[in-house]
Structure 1
Amino acid sequence: MPTLTIAAAQSASIAGDLAANIREHQRFMQAAAEQGVQLLVFPELSLTGYERGLAAELAILPDAAVLQSLRDFAREVGVTTVVGMPIRLSHDSPVLIGALVLGADGSLGVYSKQHLHDGEELAFAPGTGGSTLTIGTDTVALAVCADFSHASHAAAAAEQGADIYAAGVLITEGGYAPDTSLLQGYAGEHSMVVLMANHGGVTGGWASAGRSAIWAADGSLIAAAPGAGNLVVMARRDAAGWQGQVIAVTEE
């Protein structure tokens, strides 16, 4: 199999501060680039924090100029990066929970969360998903948090030919065991590598469990963060198979 390095960015978001969160994302992207990461996935709503009350105010069009510096940086460091952001598909359309794919080639992909968690309907409308993306010879399907609680979502990803199922999430300690059991199960059931990028700290009043993880296509664990905090959880594939690594992203 061709070599591949993918990673979950376990970042802590600053509530509503897009400029500060962009800078923080760039630190993670730089650290990932130094490790040869080709695909880096951030948590749900990573660029704003999980701030439902601020979503309408902060929502942007996917190609908004405010994210151009981050798109340029993804291309500069050569890391295709999936970031979380409240989005609108037009100026007068509903707010969606978006996952924007900032391509290492300068491209922009848009995924919107299809299945809302209870209460999210107060701030967001259901989205329509998005296309798979290609990293080398691998096909990646995206998910955002509650999407994966529907078995049909992972099954559809497998039917689309996905080798990797990558989810940006917000999972607390209480939900961690059942949620990761589902994700690990999808890996084995559908023969997909499954990546889960969880928040690294408190966001929107929720204490994230951290413990971002990546499972191999047989359901075995490749790598997992030990807890919360600013960490990059990586999985590298070479001729010998998959190896995991976790690195800290330290303050400048």
Structure 2
Amino acid sequence: MSRWNIAAAQYAGQHNNVDEHVLHHLRFIEEAAHQQCDLLVFPELSLTGPGKGALPPPPDDLQLAPLLHAAQSLNITVIAGTTLIHDGQRQKGLALFTPNIDSIRRYPQGSGASLIPGDKQLSIIDIQSDSPNLDPDATLFTSCQAVGDHRWRQSINTLQRFAHKYAIAVLMANARSGSALWDDKGQLIVRADTGELLLTGSLGRQGWQGDIIPLG
């Protein structure tokens, strides 16, 4: 792949109506496709909202079918935040929609996921581990978050160090503000302020470049 275009959706929906979340996700997906993005990453729990006291139930395949159709028809890979049932308990997870697979793949959220351009699966990474299982061919680590100012500062410090230590670009999608992209040297390429928007990055021969696309 001579050029790889990616985006983080700075998406701040806090309600628990899955159908409305799906419609709102479609707006971001269509804009990302218009920007010729190959990958779009949403914040944690973007499909469900955070819930009140307990995590919301996981959406089913029928509810999420429009997102799979959009990924296929627009030729874009989408990572969205959801909930999962594991050992009878709800936990935070990721839903993966890819153009060439007719099913939705679900993963535990972990600290984030590493990707290889054009690959059809995620590798879930624990960045606190002394030896995270990063594939040597992975080009990008993605982090789906929904954190306020204090935890955001902790997150960006951790992610920047991770990018530098493991020589991998890092894309953080945060719900309300501060989404960011670092290159494989740990240098900040672009960071968003507040509001709903797309933070985009493009990897070409000259390295990473970034931009901010408002959603009016």
- What displacement does 1:142 show? 4.6
Structure 2 gaps, min length 5: none
Deviations 1:175-226 (A, max 9, x none): 22222011001111000000100002xxxxxxxxx1100100001111110x
- Does residue 162 (structure 1) correspond to residue 138 (structure 2)? The answer is yes
Aligned pairs for 1:23-62 within 5 A: 23-53=23-53, 55-56=55-56, 58-60=57-59
- Does residue 223 (structure 1) correspond to residue 205 (structure 2)? The answer is no
Whole-Å separation in 2 of the counterparts to 1:133 and 1:179 = 20
- Does residue 105 (structure 1) correspond to residue 104 (structure 2)? The answer is no
Q: Which has the higher strand share?
A: 2
User: Aligned in 2, Cα 1:85/1:137: closer, same or farther, shift over 3 Å?
Assistant: closer
- What displacement does 1:141 show? 4.1
SS for the counterpart of 1:85 is strand
Aligned pairs for 1:54-73 within 5 A: 55-56=55-56, 58-60=57-59, 64-73=61-70
SS for the counterpart of 2:161 is helix
Residue 203 of structure 1 corresponds to none
TM-score by length of structure 2 reads: 0.88
- What displacement does 1:77 show? 1.2
| Cα-Cα RMSD | 2.5
Check the 8 A contact 1:75/1:105 in 2, yes or no.
Answer: yes
- Does residue 177 (structure 1) correspond to residue 146 (structure 2)? The answer is no
- What displacement does 1:240 show? 1.9
Residue 212 of structure 1 corresponds to 179
User: Aligned in 2, Cα 1:111/1:219: closer, same or farther, shift over 3 Å?
Assistant: same
Amino acid aligned to 1:30: E
- What displacement does 1:60 show? 3.7
TM-score by length of structure 1 reads: 0.77
- What displacement does 1:162 show? 2.5
Amino acid aligned to 1:111: Y
Amino acid aligned to 1:32: A
Q: Which has the higher helix share?
A: 1
User: Which of 77, 81, 84 is residue 84 of structure 1 equivalent to?
Assistant: 81
Check the 8 A contact 1:140/1:162 in 2, yes or no.
Answer: no
User: Aligned in 2, Cα 1:59/1:138: closer, same or farther, shift over 3 Å?
Assistant: closer
SS for the counterpart of 1:158 is coil
Identity across aligned pairs (percent)?
28
Amino acid aligned to 2:36: G
Amino acid aligned to 1:234: T
- What displacement does 1:237 show? 1.2
User: Aligned in 2, Cα 1:234/1:102: closer, same or farther, shift over 3 Å?
Assistant: same
Whole-Å separation in 2 of the counterparts to 1:230 and 1:36 = 19
